[in-house]
Amino acid sequence: MIELKKIVKELNLKVITGSSNLDKEISGGYASDLMSDVIANSKKDNIWITLQTHQNIVAVAILKELGGIIIVNGRKLEEETLKKAKKENIPIMVTDIPTFEIVGRLYRLGITGMM
């Protein structure tokens, strides 16, 4: 198990929201850009890697009690998403790196993605 703040530091992620909520332990990783898939298959305290920026991502993170969201490809969050994530104190991090590479680096830190 690894703390979210260690991931942030190791991978040099920019924390956009939820910076006071980085102490939690991450149980594993889930990478998907399809809401229905994440709702069906992600697990509690997973770190979620996606390029979706729509406000629905915050709702999904709350619903599934995810540990945090990493937005890839340097995507900018929509205004509504930002507002909602702030209010719910959901950690959202951004990176310019695409999904494959960031997942590879997370995997190297010991985070796996078996269901």
Partner 1 sequence: MTLNQAKEILEAKVITGLDNLETEVKIGCASDLMSDVLIFNKPESLLLTGLTNPQVVRTAEMADIKAICFVRGKTLDEKTIELAKDKNIILLMTHLPMFESCGRLYKKGLVGLGYLDINKKNG
Partner 2 sequence: MAEDKKFTKIQELTYELKIKDVMTKKVVTVHPKKPISELREILYKKGISGTPVVSKGELVGLISIEDFIKCLAQGEMNALIEEKMAKKVETLYADEPVVHAVRKFDQYGFGRFPVIKRNNKKLVGIITKGDIIKGLLKKLEIDYHEEEIHRYRASHIFEDIIADNTTLTFQYNVVGKDFDKAGESASGLKRTLYRLGIQPNIVRRASIATYEAEMNIVVFTDGGKLTASVQPHQIKIDASDSGPGIPDVKQAMRPGFSTAPEWIRELGFGAGMGLLNIKNCTDKMTLDSKVGKGTHLEAVLYLN
50 Cβ contact list (under 8 Å, min separation 6): 31, 32, 33, 38, 57, 69, 70, 71, 72, 99
Q: Does 95 participate in binding partner 2 (rule CB under 8 A)?
A: no
Cα(91)–Cα(36) distance, rounded to whole angstroms? Answer: 21
Q: Report the residue from 18, 29, 67, 91 that binds partner 1 according to the rule CB under 8 A.
A: 29
40 Cβ contact list (under 8 Å, min separation 6): none
Q: How far is the CB of 41 from partner 1 (least distance, A)?
A: 7
CB atoms within 10 A of CB 26: 21
Q: How far is the CB of 32 from partner 1 (least distance, A)?
A: 6
Interacting positions 3-32 with partner 2 (CB under 8 A)? none
Q: How far is the CB of 99 from partner 1 (least distance, A)?
A: 4
Q: Answer yes or no: are the C-beta atoms of 61 and 90 closer than 8 Å.
A: yes
Q: Report the residue from 10, 65, 80, 96 that binds partner 1 according to the rule CB under 8 A.
A: 96
Residues that bind partner 1 (CB under 8 A): 28-34, 37, 41, 49, 51-52, 72-75, 96-108, 111-115
